[in-house]
Amino acid sequence: MKSLVLVFVFALVLIESEGIEDWLSHELYPCIKCLCHARSGCWIRQNCARYSIDFNYWKTAGSVVANLDDLPNDKNSYESCMKDENCIVGTIIQFTEKFGRIDCNCDGEFDCKDRAAIHLKGANCEYPEFGAAYAARFNECAKEIGVNTMLEREGTSECTSPKIDVRSN
């Protein structure tokens, strides 16, 4: 009988854990850490959420939830998500994928700089202007994780931001 109970509990835990994706292990997590650091000036994802993820952003990202019993498009689920680092990271990843792989700065690749521009501007990310403080904080982090650094202003005014199929972060 004890064995049966243990098997049941293990199966329940396994089913429960499969419902919420582990965004903190996602290959894009280092990039998301950098854009959050650039946005908020600190390393705490909840601060990034406070500065840049409103209810509409969250809904556009697909209403990522922190708990299996959270309801999509529900204000309480949004608030729960904004307190959960995994959910915040998932929301940003989903949002930056939502519009396709837009080369916002027209450098021929879709990378973390493009994700930062999409995070800030959505689909209208052409010729992104990040500003000195944002670029400096992003670059501090980018050097640590080995991604391309950014300029205060990326691309040119003639940039039309084509969607590209290159699979890189």
Give tens-digit pLDDT for 76-125: 999 999 999 999 999 999 999 999 999 999 999 999 999 999 999 999 99
Within a domain: 153: no
Residues in the chain: 169
In a domain, 99, yes or no: yes
| Pairwise CA distance, residues 109 & 151, whole Å | 15
Residue 100: per-residue pLDDT: 92
Largest CA distance in the chain: 71
- Domain extent at residue 59: 2-145
Q: Look at residue 155 and tell me if it is in a domain.
A: no
120 lies in a domain? yes
In a domain, 132, yes or no: yes
Residue 49 belongs to a domain: yes
Residue 154 maps to a domain: no
Q: Does 38 map to a domain?
A: yes
How many distinct structural domains can be found in the chain? Answer: 1
